Amino acid sequence: MSFVWGADNVAFLRKRHEALSAHPLFAGMDYSEDRQQIAQWAPLIMQNRPKGEPIAVTRSLMGTDVNFGALTRLLFSYLSGTKGCVLHTRHDVQDIRRDEDGQWRLKVRDLRENTDRIVRSRFVFIGGGGAALTLLQKTGIPQAQGVGGFPVSGQFLRCTNKALIARHRAKVYGKASVGAPPMSVPHLDTRMIDGKPALLFGPYAGFSTRFLKQGSLMDLPLSVRPGNIGPMLAVARDNWPLTKYLIQQVMQSQEDRIAALRDFIPDAKAEDWELVVAGQRVQIIKQDPKKGGVLQFGTEVIASDDGSVAALLGASPGASTAAPIMLNVLQKCFAAKMPEWTDRLKAMVPSFGQKLANNPALCQQQFDRTTKILGLTL
C-alpha cells in the first residue's frame, strides 16, 4: 500500500493511481480516500487519526513477503548435495589477482583453521554485499577505476507489542523526504520471520564508514584510490540535500523517531518499539564527464570486457533483485553459451527474454503461475 496525507500528496497519489492502474504490471490496484475503507485495510494507521486531514491509499494485493535468508539456505542445502558444488563458509577472500594464463588467482583464508590457500578459476563472481567494491578493486580491471562507494546504514523500529503486531497485515509505504535516497521511503511493514509475524517501521538512515554491518571503520578510507578520489569529492560537493538529510537522520533522538512513526500510527507508544540496526548499503559513485562524479542509487553489475569477472555493487545487491541480476550476469559474461542455455532458462523462467510490461496476457499468466506455485491466496 502507498499511504499519503495532505491535499497535495492526495492529488499526487490520485494521479499516480490513474496512470499506473492502466498499466498491465499494476492492473487491479485499488485507490481510496474513504477513511472507513482504509481502516479496514490497515486499522493501525487510522486509529485516533485527526479528523479532517485529507488522506489517500493505493493498495495492490499481488506479491508476497520473501525471507531471502531462508531461501538462500534452502538453495544451498540442495546445491551442496549436487555434483560439482562445494560450499565453504567462514572463508575470507583476501586477494584477487590475474595469472599470466588469464585465470583468476584468489587468496582465501579459512577463518576456522587460520590457514591460507589459493583457488584458481576461469570465472569469478563477486557478491560480497558492500564489500564487493573492495574485492572488485583488487582485480585491477579498468572498469573498476573511478568507482567509489558511499555507505548509508539503515535502522528500523521493531514492534515488541504482540497485540499491535497482530492488528497489522500490510506493507504501507509513505513518501520519501526531500533529499532522501530513493530506498529510504518510510514504511510500516509486516514481515514474516521464521513463520512469525513481525512489525517494523523505518528505515532511518545513519552514516558509518563501514561497508558491511560488521565491517571495519577503515572500509571507506581504504577504498579511496587516485582514480576515484575526484568523483568522490565531486559527489560530496554536489549532494548537499543528501548530506543535510543524513545529518538530520543521524542527529535524531528516539522521540524524533517515534514522532515519524506517529505519521503512520497516530497513537504509537515509545515503549512498544525498539531500535534495531538492519544493515549497510554502499551506494555507487561513478565518474561523470560533466560533473566529475555522480552518486547512483541503483544496483549495477560491473564486469571485465572478457566477462571473466563480474561484481555486483550498489544499493540492493541481493534479495528481490537477485534473479534478474543473475540473468544479466549470464548474458554479460557467458554470451557464447546463451544459445545452448536458453531452453533451460525458459523452463525455469518462462517469460525469459520477453517484456511483461508489453504483454498483458503473458503477465497475467506469470502472476497466476507464481501465485499458484507459492500457494498465495489473494
Ligand X SMILES: Cc1cc2nc3c(=O)[nH]c(=O)nc-3n(C[C@H](O)[C@H](O)[C@H](O)COP(=O)(O)OP(=O)(O)OC[C@H]3O[C@@H](n4cnc5c(N)ncnc54)[C@H](O)[C@@H]3O)c2cc1C
# chain residues binding ligand X, by CB under 6 A: 18
Judged by CB under 6 A, does residue 203 bind ligand X?
A: yes
Report the length, in residues, of the chain: 378
Pairing assessment for the beta strands 30-32 and 55-59 based on DSSP bridges: antiparallel
Q: Could you tell me the three cell numbers for 36?
A: 472507513
Check: CB of residue 186 under 8 Å from CB of residue 176. Answer: yes
Question: Using the rule CB under 6 A, is 69 a contact of ligand X?
Answer: no
Candidate residues 5, 17, 104, 128; the one interacting with ligand X per rule CB under 6 A: 128
Give whichever of 31 and 245 is closer to ligand X, judged by the CB atom. 245
* 333 contacts ligand X (rule: CB under 6 A): no
Q: Measure the CA–CA gap between 187 and 176, rounded to whole angstroms.
A: 10
Q: Which is nearer to ligand X, 53 or 65 (CB)?
A: 65
The answer to whether 207 and 243 have CB atoms below 8 angstroms apart is no
Give the integer Cα–Cα distance in Å for 87 and 303: 23
Residue range at the interface with ligand X (CB under 6 A); choices 129-137, 142-150, 162-170, 303-311: 129-137
Question: Counting contacts by CB under 6 A, is residue 148 touching ligand X?
Answer: no
Supply the minimum distance, in Å, between the C-beta of residue 219 and ligand X: 10
Q: What is the DSSP string of 162-226?
A: HHHHHT--SEEE--PPTT--GGG--EEEEEEETTEEEEEEEEEEE--S-SSTT--TTHHHHH--H
Provide the minimum distance between the beta carbon of 361 and ligand X in the complex, in angstroms, as a whole number.
28
Nearer to ligand X, 165 or 313 (CB): 313
Q: Which is nearer to ligand X, 51 or 88 (CB)?
A: 88
Nearest to 271 by CA among 152, 153, 377, 164: 164
Interface with ligand X (CB under 6 A), residue from 129, 146, 174, 181: 129
Q: Is 187 in the site for ligand X (CB under 6 A)?
A: no
Report if residue 53 touches ligand X, rule: CB under 6 A.
Answer: no
Among 10, 176, 236, 278, binds ligand X (CB under 6 A): 278
**Taking CB under 6 A as the criterion, which residues in 72-101 touch ligand X?**
92-93
Whether the link from the prior residue into 203 is cis, omega within 30° of 0, is yes
C-alpha cell at position 274: 525498539
Amino acid present at 141? I
Residue 146 in the binding site for ligand X (CB under 6 A) = no
Q: Which listed residue (161, 243, 296, 316) binds ligand X by CB under 6 A?
A: 316
Return residues touching ligand X (CB under 6 A): 92-93, 127-129, 131, 135, 154, 203, 212, 278-279, 281, 316-320
